[in-house]
A and B are shown apart, each in its own frame.
Chain A
Amino acid sequence: MSKVVMIAGAGDPVGARLVKDFLKAGYKVIAGRLKGQQAGFPEGVQTVELDPLSQDSAKAAAKAVREQVEAIDLLVVNYDCCVEPDPKTILEQPDFQGLKAAYDYNSLGPLRAVQAFLPLLEKGEGKRICAVTSVESSNNAARGICDYPGHISKAPLNMAMNQLFNGLRPKGYTFRMYCKETDAAPEQAGAFAVEYFTRNRSNEPESYKHSDENRLVLRDHMGIEIPW
C-alpha cells in the first residue's frame, strides 16, 4: 500500500510542485486547496477544501480525509500570504490589521492543520510533520529593514514547530522545515522539498551532533542549514 501525504496549501506554485513530486515518489496525495481555488491538480489527486484561518474548516477537512483513508503518513503545511514583500519600514505607518492577518495565516494556519490532522498521523506509520517556510522566518538570518508582515508572521511558526517537536519527537514523530527559495522561477518553486521531506536522516541516539532527527533544523532549497 502506498504512503499517504496530506498537503495543506497545495494551490500555489510550491504546492503544485509538492503534489507533482510526491506523485512521482509513489505517494497517494491528498491536496488541501483554498475555497474556490482551481489549481488543476493531476489525475488521481484527491482534494479537500481547507481554510487556513478556520479550525472548523481544518476539522471538516480532516473528517473528509478520514472517509477516504485510514491514516496519513506525512503532513505538509505550506501557507504563505506574504509572497510579495511589504516595502514599508518602521518609519512608515504599519498596517496593523494586515500584520495580524499575516500571523493568523502564516503561523496559526499551519498549527490549525497540524491540530486537525494529528489523529490521522497518529494512525499512520510515517509520523512526519513538514512545514514550508522561508528564510524571512529566521531572526539570525534577517538582514532586511522592511517586510514586517513577511518576517514577524513566520518567525513564530519556528517557535511553535520547535515546541511541537519537543512534545512529539519522544512519541516517534519526525519533522522537516524547509525554506523555499522566495524568488525562484515558477518551475523551480519547491524544488528539493519532496526529496528533503521523504529522505530519512541519521538517527543515532548517542551522537547528538550527527543525529539530525533528534534536533529540529531549518534547511533551504540547497539543503543548507539556516540558523533560527
Chain B
Amino acid sequence: MKNVVISGADRNIGLELVKQFLERGWHVFAGRFLMELPLLDELKEKYPQALSIVPLDVSKEESVQAAADLVAKEVNCVDMLVHNAAGFGQQTPEGQEIDFSAFLTPYNINALGAMRLVHSFLPLMEKGMRRLCFISSEAGVVSVAHRTEISSYCMSKTALNMALRLMFNQLQPMGYTFRLFHPGWVRSARIERPGDKVPSFEVDGKLVGKFWPWEAAAAAVPQFLEDREWEDRLVLIDNEGAAWPF
C-alpha cells in the first residue's frame, strides 16, 4: 500500500484529493487544519484503516514537524507529498490604501508552507516513490500576469513557484519527481464549522468559479500518479492538461 500526505485536506480540493487516493487504495494522511469541521471524520467512518487524520498547520514549523513525527510512527516511508493548503488574502478595494504587511499571511502559507512540508517530510520520502506534488496556480505566473491590481495571492504563488524551482534544481537529480498543478478557477466552499451549509459554494449569492473541487481533484490525481519520461523539466500543468510558462 502506498502512502500520501495531503495538506489542507479539510474541504474543497484537498478533501476531494483525499477521496481520490482512498478510492485508489492508498493510505492517506490527511492534514487537518480546521479542527471543528467534521467532513474528514465522516470520511474516516468509511475508511477507518486507510485514512489517518493528522493535525497540520503549514504556517507553523512546529506543527509540520509534529505531523511528520506522527506519520513516522505509523509508516516507514511516505511515497507522495501533496501541498494543497492555501491562503488567499484579502483584496483591498480599488482606491483604498493597501496594508502590505497583511501580504505576509498568504506568503507564509502558500510558499513557506511548501518549504516546511518538504523540509520535514523529505527524510521519510527517501525510500518511497519520491514524488512531490503542489497545487500552484497560473495566478503566480509572472510572464502572463494579467491582473491590474497588486495581489497578495498572486505574489505568494510566484514565491511558491520560485521555492519549487530551487527544490527542483536540487532534488530532481536525487531522484525526486515534481508535479505542479494549476486547478483552474475552482469553486470553493467557505465552510469552517459543523452546521455550516454544505456545500455552500456561493459568495454573495453568486456561484464564483468554473470548476467543482471534485473535478479539479479528478484532473489532478492522474497527473500526480503518472510516470513521465520527461522528469528533468519543471512544468506547471493545468486541469485540462495544458502547460503554462513561469
> Interface residues, chain A, CB within 8 Å of chain B?
55, 89-91, 93-94, 96, 99-100, 103-104, 107-108, 111-112, 115, 139-140, 142-148, 151-153, 155-160, 162-164, 166-167, 227-228
Contact = CB atoms under 8 A, between A and B. Distances in A.
B169 A90 contact: no
Contact of A90 (B61, B111, B167, B246): B167
A228 B163 contact: no
Contacts of B100: 55, 108, 111-112, 115
Interface of B: 61, 97-101, 103-104, 107-108, 111-112, 115-116, 118-119, 122, 140, 142-143, 145-151, 154-156, 158-159, 161-163, 165-167, 169-171, 245-246
Nearest to A153: B159
Given A93-B119, A145-B166, A228-B246, A139 B147 contact: no
Contacts of B112: 94, 96, 99-100
Contacts of A94: 112, 115-116, 119
Contacts, number: 129
A151 B122 contact: no
28 contacts: A55-B99, A90-B167, A91-B170, A100-B108, A103-B103, A107-B103, A111-B150, A115-B100, A139-B142, A139-B165, A140-B245, A142-B166, A142-B169, A143-B169, A144-B166, A147-B166, A151-B162, A152-B111, A152-B159, A155-B158, A155-B161, A157-B155, A159-B145, A159-B154, A159-B158, A163-B150, A166-B147, A227-B143
A143 B170 CA distance: 9
A104 B165 contact: no
Contacts of B170: 89-91, 145
Contacts of B245: 140
A164 B150 contact: yes
Nearest to B119: A90
Given A139-B162, A152-B163, A159 B169 contact: no
A96 B63 CA distance: 14
Nearest to A107: B155
Contacts of A107: 103, 155
A100 B103 CA distance: 10
A115 to B, nearest CB: 6
B151 A90 contact: no
Given A156-B107, A166-B146, A167-B148, A142 B97 contact: no
A152 B146 CA distance: 21
Contacts of B148: 163, 166-167
A99 B110 CA distance: 13
A157 B1 CA distance: 43
B101 A163 contact: no
Contacts of B99: 55
